[in-house]
Amino acid sequence: MTTSKPSTRDTILDAAETVVAREGSGRLTIDAVAAEAAVSKGGVLYHFPNKIALLTGMVERMMAEIGAEIAAAEARATADGSPVLPLVIQDMFNRSGTHDSVSMALLAASAEHPELLDPAREFLSSTFQRLADATPDPIAAQILLLAMDGLKLSILLGFNHVPDHQLQPIRDRVLSLAHEIYA
Amino acid sequence: MTTSKPSTRDTILDAAETVVAREGSGRLTIDAVAAEAAVSKGGVLYHFPNKIALLTGMVERMMAEIGAEIAAAEARATADGSPVLPLVIQDMFNRSGTHDSVSMALLAASAEHPELLDPAREFLSSTFQRLADATPDPIAAQILLLAMDGLKLSILLGFNHVPDHQLQPIRDRVLSLAHEIYA
DNA sequence: TTGACTGTACCGTCTGGACGGTTTATATGC
DNA sequence: GCATATAAACCGTCCAGACGGTACAGTCAA
């Protein structure tokens, strides 16, 4: 099992995300992360020699998580011959709600060292591009993926400009639209 | 004419947005804003007695701009009997590209004092809710509005995970989908 | 014995904000 | 018509605190 013990390194990254989610990216200090992770400041600096390394760690873990998730969806899709896009979108819905590492890492990095997002840019754009291009209607697929981004943004910044009771219908509609693309 | 002279106050708010766009929300300091606005630090603090006031000013101007834009679209719509949603969406497309005050204000405030967004939350959610509910298919309208948010986010953080050459087709498709809602 | 930390003390820099001074515009009194 | 008063708009400097980072001695389990 890969989820046996959360290594201190991961604990620290989790703590960093929690701080960003709760207090804003501007309050992401090494001290705050240490306190949140119940580790000393020296302990944080042992794993991440400086703050840039910490931010880099957040961005890298985010990319790894997205990559794994999409790869898993693709594997499932090819396994039972179902279309990929709905699977990916469903994953996104399931993950939303919990403060997710994607948004937090983006916010944190963009606040202080936007250039750290350069590798993420390439990775994300090519990943989603590939995903959309694999469907019969790439433009429609992109629009749905953008809608998912928007939903994430609104949750991330705390506006549910989508009220809770509309979340379920939106989810159903987006999924059915995703299926229609393959019709 | 209301656009006669850009008051120092507005110059300062513009400068703040520029700083956020160029260097990230974490680099939004009073000194940086002063330098960008070609005003002394004391000058900035004359108009905004502290940093919270500056952030509040950004958020308030953002709401005013959105409110005015949507009101204008609604006025145009009722004037010639055309549907509102496509007009609003067209405005959003036209505004994108230039670093817009909406995103910058959101980023800046969320970084340091997320609670400053509380009034914006209410305003934006009720505004977009009203807009969507005024269409024959609120769910579809919400999805399109979310897609616009997503597009804004991706431009904002510098990922065009939508490549430039797809922007035009996406624009056309979203607009035609917006029209279909009324069909 | 080594790796993974803790804890404390400390330094240099940056930043928000306070403060007092200075220019400019406008109004008032004579 | 001119001096004076007054307030608004702005400048430049200073300071306390926060933050990133360093250094180093000590703990403790495997």
Q: Which CATH architecture has domain A1-49?
A: Orthogonal Bundle (1.10)
B115, B116, B129, B143: best to mutate for the A interface, most A CBs within 10 A:
B143
pLDDT mean across residues, chain B: 87
Mean pLDDT computed over B102-129: 85
pLDDT of B171 above 60 = yes
Instruction: Please calculate the CA angle A111-A113-A118 and round it to the nearest 5 degrees.
Output: 110
Pick from B175, B2, B180: nearest CA to B90: B175
For the segment A132-168, what is each residue's pLDDT rounded down to a tens digit?
999 999 999 999 999 998 888 777 776 666 778 888 9
B87 pLDDT band, cuts 50/70/90, is very high
3-state class (DSSP) for residue A1: coil
The pLDDT of residue B22 is 87
The pLDDT of residue B112 is 87
Better-predicted residue by pLDDT, B96 or B70:
B70
Positions of strand C less than 7 angstroms from a protein CB: 4-9, 14-21
Mean pLDDT computed over A17-29: 92
Tell me the C-alpha distance between A154 and A176, whole Å.
Answer: 22
For the segment B143-167, what is each residue's pLDDT rounded down to a tens digit?
999 999 888 877 777 666 677 788 8
List the domain boundaries for chain B: 1-49, 59-180
pLDDT of B100 above 70 = no
* Shortest Cα distance, chain A CAs vs residue B36, angstroms: 18
Instruction: Please calculate the CA angle A116-A118-A123 and round it to the nearest 5 degrees.
Output: 120
CB nearest to A24's CB, from B112, B124, B174: B112
Instruction: Please calculate the CA angle B35-B41-B42 and round it to the nearest 5 degrees.
Output: 150
Q: How many CB pairs below 8 Å do chains A and B form together? A: 143
Question: Can you give the distance from the CA of residue B72 to the C1' of nucleotide D10 in angstroms?
Answer: 36
A93 pLDDT band, cuts 50/70/90, is confident
Mean pLDDT computed over A2-30: 85
Structure-block tokens of residue B158: 């510098």
Question: Can you give the distance from the CA of residue A42 to the C1' of nucleotide D26 in angstroms?
Answer: 13
Which parts of chain B fold into alpha helices (H)? 8-23, 30-37, 41-47, 51-80, 84-95, 101-112, 118-133, 138-156, 164-180
**Chain B residues within an 8 Å CB radius of A27:** 112
* Shortest Cα distance, chain B CAs vs residue A107, angstroms: 8
The pLDDT of residue B151 is 87
Say which nucleotide is closest to residue A29, CA to C1' distance: D19
**Chain B residues within an 8 Å CB radius of A154:** 146, 149
Question: Can you give the distance from the CA of residue B76 to the C1' of nucleotide D23 in angstroms?
Answer: 68
**Chain A residues within an 8 Å CB radius of B176:** none
CB contact under 8 A, A26 and B23: no
CB nearest to A25's CB, from B26, B149, B153: B26
Most confident of A1-5, A162-166, B171-175: B171-175
The pLDDT of residue A154 is 76
For the segment B119-143, what is each residue's pLDDT rounded down to a tens digit?
888 898 889 899 999 999 999 999 9
The pLDDT of residue A1 is 34
Tell me the C-alpha distance between B14 and A178, whole Å.
Answer: 40
pLDDT of B104 above 90 = no
